[in-house]
Structure 1
Amino acid sequence: MTAPAARPTVKCLVWDLDDTLWDGVVLEGDVPPPFPPAATTLKTLDSRGILHAAVSRGDHDTATAHLDATGLGEWFCAARIGWGDKSAAVRHVAETLNIGLDTVAFIDNDPAERAEVAAALPMVRCYPADLAGQLPELPEFRPAHVTAEAAGRRLLYRTEWRRRQAEEESDGDRRAFLASLGLVMEIAPATESDLARASELTVRTHQLNSTGLVYGEEDLRRLIAAPDHQVRLARLSDRFGDYGVVGLSVTELTPTESVLRLMLMSCRVASRGAGELMLSHIVRQARAEGRRPVTHFVPTAVNRTMLVTLRFAGYAPVTRDTGDGAPMVLEVPADHPVREPGSHVRLLVRPAPGGRSDR
């Protein structure tokens, strides 16, 4: 078990288009071909689970039509093409994909555009266009784990875009929209085949993360086999498709307590109530086993939402943040009622390999 990296690897590379992704300017009547090194980088980073988005100046319909005509459109999860500040567009992309700006990179041939983004969003890493072919070799574009799910991450985010469009069409009735999704969450013990994805989650997830602990595959293999630990994974699906593995918990068991050492949930599903649902299951199981539900929480610059989620699930502070890196301790009081799953989601619990309970 090691401390998290000082700066996370890139989750999304945001591309300028004209004279960066392709050789020319679409609005000037050209039909510019893609730069071969840029096209290769698109495919290479996609295979590593790194997303692509477009932020460029020009007419949106014209630019996206050319993306599709060149065969590059399928690689992009989001696009903001217009005439405003690129920093605002980059911020919008991060919000659309629900990822932190410190995991976003930006590439543009124009040094003035890079300077504008860097000044407004200093946490975003900026690169000149002539480095496009070299980006896959840089350490920030080489995630520690490349799983089968990582290689298909683009499809998950493109599906999420469809969900967002459906939500916009729901006229703001959030409860009706959630009910229409047909959400199903499955919580199950992690197995040997889950180790790479589980470890990847501890590296990639920062906002909905209780302690920031990073577990390697060997760490997780040991904990899965240990009788005094429980490692659970959460998967989510709906009528649009599969979100994949979205949550992880690592719990240490003592004779009297169930101590949640790490709880994390993908930001992609934060608005679905997935974090609170998983926590409620953990509390319910702890009480069924005669143990007091306890959790640790280490505050960071980006995980305030995780503390709010813990509080909604019934965890109340026992100790406070002392500022010395020691975790806060929270517990669920014995008289606190456990929240049941909402009517918008069906919970499947698989308590052990080969068995499943349905509620």
Structure 2
Amino acid sequence: MTGYDPDSVKCVVWDLDGTLWDDIAVETPTDELPTPRPEMLAAIDALAARGVLSSIASRSAPTVLDRLAGRPEVRERFLAPQVSWQDKSESLRRIAKDLGIAVEALVLVDDSPYERAEVEALLPGVRTLAPEDVPALLAAFEGREVTPESRERVRRYRTEETRRAEGERFSGSREEFLRWCDMRLTIGAAAPDEIPRALELAARTHRLNSSGLTPDRLRELAASEGHALYTARMADRFGSYGVIGAALVDRTDPAAWSVPLLALSCRVAGRGAAAAFLFRLMRRAREAGADTFQVTLRPTDANLEMRILLRQAGLRRADDTPGTTPDTAPGTAPGTAPATAPDAAVLVRSLHGDLPEPPPYLHVTEQDHREDAEA
């Protein structure tokens, strides 16, 4: 695991036979499942404490998963498990889809060199490990800060499974279901105890991340004059999502609010939270007297959803102007280090006229903006 970034790991997928336990489940003489290896259960729990999910991908009879349901103390550790005779690569694709994360955020632990090779060939972005590599995996997480959201991540994904099940049973439209969920988004200046979560979002989100600003750069800019860090919390009838969004706002030019980073958890994708967060920041900028609103965008293979959102919000690439380069975006004070990578672009729109509104099923409120009194 040397040189491996644990921020990229969102879920570890475990094989069963020969990995989670020693024996082969379908060959046991009774319906009793093999006893899991204590060190593997301890590893799963240690990962969960750091916000890393666990799932199952096993090439075995689907009835093994039914039998596993009779062992809730084991089954409850796993989300979106896949037990079938399909290829492991296909199982991993389904797990990623069910969890709403990129397949590259998965790590497979499997005792079979063949199964690891199959996944590496068909899903080259997925890291594969043998069971004896698990201690090194755990060591990669040592010393890293654990946020309250990280400790709650497994529970919140379980709540998400409940939401998904309720949505499948709901007889109305998708929008009617979202309205029934009583979704509430609260936006405000980041409290001190929310900053670690904002840094985590900058590091771990990819689908809904505008620029890929590093946590260190985000921390530096958030503490600098003329900048403010906003967060968004979300809740619904099923419970709290916690802090699901972060935005760094550069107000060094009062006439042109600039957002070097907009990042949201993939758990809220498709629910209007990203749009509502962005639109409320636009409205806040106009209320503060700004004429234009800018967002730094670094296009990647993963953030197409964010790019579509920015375009739907009326943001377009800024025209080249004297003294403005991809390294010195509008809103960046002359002589300061650039906030983003050289391949980033600045998208801009006027704040005059009608501004887009959040989805009607999402109730949006604002907390006190403490930074206004400090500006």
Partner of residue 329 from structure 1, selected from 346, 355, 362: 346
Per the alignment, residue 188 of structure 1 pairs with 188
Amino acid of the structure 1 residue aligned with 2:303: N
After superposition, residues 235-250 of structure 1 pair within 5 angstroms as 235-250=233-248
Distance of aligned partners of 1:43 and 1:64 in 2 relative to their CA distance in 1, 3 Å threshold: farther
Note the C-alpha offset of 1:173.
2.1
- Give me the whole-angstrom Cα distance separating, in 1, the residues matched to 2:365 and 2:204: 25
- Give me the whole-angstrom Cα distance separating, in 2, the residues matched to 1:168 and 1:223: 43
Amino acid of the structure 2 residue aligned with 1:10: V
> Are the aligned partners of 1:9 and 1:143 in contact in 2 as well (CA < 8 Å)?
no
Distance of aligned partners of 1:44 and 1:177 in 2 relative to their CA distance in 1, 3 Å threshold: same
- Give me the whole-angstrom Cα distance separating, in 2, the residues matched to 1:335 and 1:184: 27
Note the C-alpha offset of 1:330.
1.2
Residue deviations 1:275-317 (CA, integer Å, cap 9, x gap): 1100100110111111121111111221122111111122122
- Give me the whole-angstrom Cα distance separating, in 1, the residues matched to 2:46 and 2:314: 44
Partner of residue 346 from structure 1, selected from 359, 363, 370: 363
> Are the aligned partners of 2:22 and 2:34 in contact in 1 as well (CA < 8 Å)?
yes
Amino acid of the structure 2 residue aligned with 1:9: S
TM-score, length of structure 1 as denominator length:
0.89
**Stretch deviating more after TM superposition (65-74 or 254-263):** 65-74
Q: Does 1:256 align with 2:255?
A: yes
**Stretch deviating more after TM superposition (5-14 or 85-94):** 5-14
- Give me the whole-angstrom Cα distance separating, in 2, the residues matched to 1:331 and 1:54: 44
Amino acid of the structure 1 residue aligned with 2:83: I
Note the C-alpha offset of 1:340.
2.1
Aligned residues: 347
Note the C-alpha offset of 1:23.
1.8
- Give me the whole-angstrom Cα distance separating, in 2, the residues matched to 1:129 and 1:7: 18
Distance of aligned partners of 1:75 and 1:204 in 2 relative to their CA distance in 1, 3 Å threshold: same
Partner of residue 95 from structure 2, selected from 64, 88, 93: 93
In percent, how many aligned pairs have the same letter? 33
What is the root-mean-square deviation in Å for CA atoms of aligned residues? 2.6
Note the C-alpha offset of 1:62.
3.1
After superposition, residues 31-42 of structure 1 pair within 5 angstroms as 31-42=33-44
- Give me the whole-angstrom Cα distance separating, in 1, the residues matched to 2:223 and 2:137: 39
* Stretches of structure 2 lacking an aligned partner (at least 5 in a row): 328-340
> Are the aligned partners of 1:315 and 1:330 in contact in 2 as well (CA < 8 Å)?
yes
Per the alignment, residue 198 of structure 2 pairs with 198
> Are the aligned partners of 2:185 and 2:234 in contact in 1 as well (CA < 8 Å)?
yes
Distance of aligned partners of 1:225 and 1:33 in 2 relative to their CA distance in 1, 3 Å threshold: same
- Give me the whole-angstrom Cα distance separating, in 2, the residues matched to 1:353 and 1:104: 39
Residue deviations 1:298-346 (CA, integer Å, cap 9, x gap): 1122112211111112212224898983421111234452122222111
TM-score, length of structure 2 as denominator length:
0.85
Per the alignment, residue 133 of structure 2 pairs with 131
- Give me the whole-angstrom Cα distance separating, in 1, the residues matched to 2:135 and 2:69: 19
- Give me the whole-angstrom Cα distance separating, in 2, the residues matched to 1:45 and 1:142: 11
Per the alignment, residue 290 of structure 1 pairs with 289
- Give me the whole-angstrom Cα distance separating, in 1, the residues matched to 2:161 and 2:224: 40
> Are the aligned partners of 1:34 and 1:70 in contact in 2 as well (CA < 8 Å)?
no
> Are the aligned partners of 1:316 and 1:333 in contact in 2 as well (CA < 8 Å)?
no
**Stretch deviating more after TM superposition (330-339 or 155-164):** 330-339
> Are the aligned partners of 1:188 and 1:352 in contact in 2 as well (CA < 8 Å)?
yes
